[in-house]
């Protein structure tokens, strides 16, 4: 029996600073309905999909952006989206800023199945940017001020007839993300992102943003025999332009669906999860070919250690 999962990537255009949660949830519901119309079993929303990308602004107090965080999930404002999932049978993956009851702040994804139940939660592992105010930059990237690194790491959830992993934005640039998920048996990895086109530490990278986006996700998909669904919040948000180019990538590394314009839209692909085995049973048969006994530095050291 084939295991076909129809996956949607619900790309979003900008979310304005003064856009209410209710307005944003209406946008998400429209995208979810579009995904249902094209037969999706699950639709993936971007990173921090309920608000503008607030780490671009500095606040003197750490709690200065707490109004952008959710203290419960689901909550009254997003409940209609959960109800849509239960009514239609189409699940979703939603990114938001999470403030826990004991005061921790995370950049979080939840995976919701076709009954409207949360079946997985992931907190971003690799937190990019800086923690201090750097007024010389045209805009800030203060994720390291407003988010803690996940203490939990990566995990895989049985959902939609397969094994699903989640990662968030900067995580997609790190091979460890995909390899850990691959070792946990992930067949599909959902990755939302907000990627400004301007990179202050090295603007030479600016024209390469789209290339790097595909490079890392396609390599991750191929080297680990998995589908990768990359979903942008792109366009010009509060004066900062971010990458769109959402894409769904097969275990072969080939792009099988791609957004050709920016803004709110759904792309989708029918993913035969058994295709993963073409790679994980052959070239990337981990248990036959991997050599963990010589990979020590990967887990023993954080930075470069010349020997």
First to last CA, the chain: 51
Tokens of 181: 């998920």
Listed in sequence order, the residues at least 6 apart from 117 whose beta carbon sits closer than 8 Å to its beta carbon are: none
Instruction: Give strand pairing partners of 92.
Output: 43, 112
Helix and strand numbers (H, E) in the chain are 8, 14
Q: Is 124 tagged catalytic? A: yes
Please identify, using beta-carbon distances, which residue of 121 and 144 lies nearer to ligand CDT.
144
Interacting residues toward ligand CDT by CB under 6 A: 47, 128-129, 141, 169-170, 173, 193-195
Q: With respect to ligand CDT, which residue has the nearer C-beta, 129 or 251?
A: 129
What is the three-class DSSP state of 181?
Answer: helix
Q: Which is nearer to ligand CDT, 163 or 170 (CB)?
A: 170
Q: Measured from the CB atom, is 212 or 278 closer to ligand CDT?
A: 212
CB neighbours (10 Å) of residue 154? Answer: 21
Residue 237 annotated in active site: no
Q: How many CB atoms lie within 10 A of CB 223?
A: 17
Considering the candidates 40, 90, 93, 169, report the single residue annotated as catalytic.
169
Cα angle: 247, vertex 251, 253; to 5 degrees: 60
CA 108 vs. chain centroid, Å, equals 9
Of 115 and 206, nearer to ligand CDT (C-beta) is 206
For residue 255, the cross-strand partners are 249
DSSP-assigned beta bridge partners for residue 11: 265
Does 233 qualify as catalytic in the annotation? no
- Joined tokens for residue 176: 């460890």
Residues acting as catalytic residues: 47, 124, 169
């Amino acid at each position: 029996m084939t295991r076909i999962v129809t996956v949607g990537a619900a790309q979003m255009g900008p979310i304005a600073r003064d856009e209410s949660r209710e307005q944003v949830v209406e946008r998400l519901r429209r995208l979810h309905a579009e995904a249902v119309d094209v037969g999706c079993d699950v639709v993936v929303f971007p990173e921090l999909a309920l608000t503008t990308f607030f780490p671009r602004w500095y606040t003197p107090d750490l709690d200065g952006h707490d109004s952008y965080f959710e203290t419960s999930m689901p909550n009254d404002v997003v409940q209609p989206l959960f109800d849509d999932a239960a009514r239609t049978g189409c699940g979703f993956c939603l990114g938001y800023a999470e403030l826990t009851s004991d005061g921790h702040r995370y950049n979080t994804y939840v995976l919701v199945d076709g009954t409207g139940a949360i079946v997985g939660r992931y907190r971003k592992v690799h937190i990019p940017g800086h923690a201090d105010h750097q007024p010389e930059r045209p805009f800030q990237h203060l994720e390291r001020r407003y988010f803690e690194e996940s203490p939990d790491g990566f995990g895989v959830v049985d959902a939609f007839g397969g094994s699903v992993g989640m990662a968030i934005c900067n995580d997609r640039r790190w091979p460890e993300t995909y390899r850990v998920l691959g070792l946990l048996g992930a067949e599909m990895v959902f990755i939302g992102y907000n990627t400004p086109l301007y990179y202050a530490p090295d603007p030479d990278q600016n024209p390469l943003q789209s290339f790097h986006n595909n490079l890392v996700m396609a390599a991750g998909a191929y080297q680990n025999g998995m589908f990768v669904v990359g979903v942008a919040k792109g366009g010009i948000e509060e004066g900062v332009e971010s990458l769109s180019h959402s894409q769904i990538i097969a275990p072969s590394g080939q792009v099988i669906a791609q957004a050709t314009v920016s803004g709110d839209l759904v792309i989708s692909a029918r993913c035969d999860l058994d295709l993963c085995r073409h790679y994980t049973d052959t070239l990337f048969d981990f248990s036959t070919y991997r050599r963990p006994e010589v990979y020590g530095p990967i887990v023993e050291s954080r930075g470069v250690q010349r020997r």
